[in-house]
Amino acid sequence: MKKHSNLLSGIVINHPEQVFASNIAYVESDEGIHYLSLVTDASSRKIMGHEVRREMKASDTVKAMKRAIRERQTQRPLIHHSDRDSQYCPSLYQRELERHNIKPP
């Protein structure tokens, strides 16, 4: 698994779809714990993609990213930012970013 450097160091975010930030939240319900994978536009704070599952897997973070990509309104260059946790490092996730010319975390 490859971890990329932080591309946000010193960058000024000044328009939508310049940076997508990914994160995972833990949601508890009567059915137990669920994992909510989110992709948020860093400028507008709009949730661009999401996926909820009982397990935390890289394939679910990919599903959230695919939804976010479908919601894009521009084709401007895009940086992806995450905490670089293990769900964002596997080749499955990295290939999705590469396929859409998104600079990885």
Q: What is the CATH number of the domain that holds 67?
A: 3.30.420.10
- Tell me: the pLDDT tens digits for 14-46? 999 999 999 999 999 899 999 999 999 999 999
pLDDT for the residue 84 = 61
- The answer to whether position 60 is within a domain reads yes
Task: Tell me, yes or no, whether 8 lies in a domain.
Answer: no
Share of the chain above pLDDT 70, in %: 83
In a domain, 6, yes or no: no
Question: What is the domain count for the chain?
Answer: 1
Given the DSSP bridges, would you call strands 47-53 and 19-29 parallel, antiparallel or unpaired? unpaired
Residue 57 vs residue 77, higher pLDDT: 77
pLDDT of residue 18: 94
Assess if residue 14 is contained within a domain: no
Q: What is the pTM of this model?
A: 0.83
Please tell me whether residue 86 adopts helix, strand or coil conformation.
coil
- Domain with 56, as residue range(s), is 19-103
Which residues have CB under 8 Å from 48's CB, separation 6+?
Answer: 20, 39, 40, 41, 67, 68, 71, 72
| pLDDT interval class at 10 (50, 70, 90) | confident
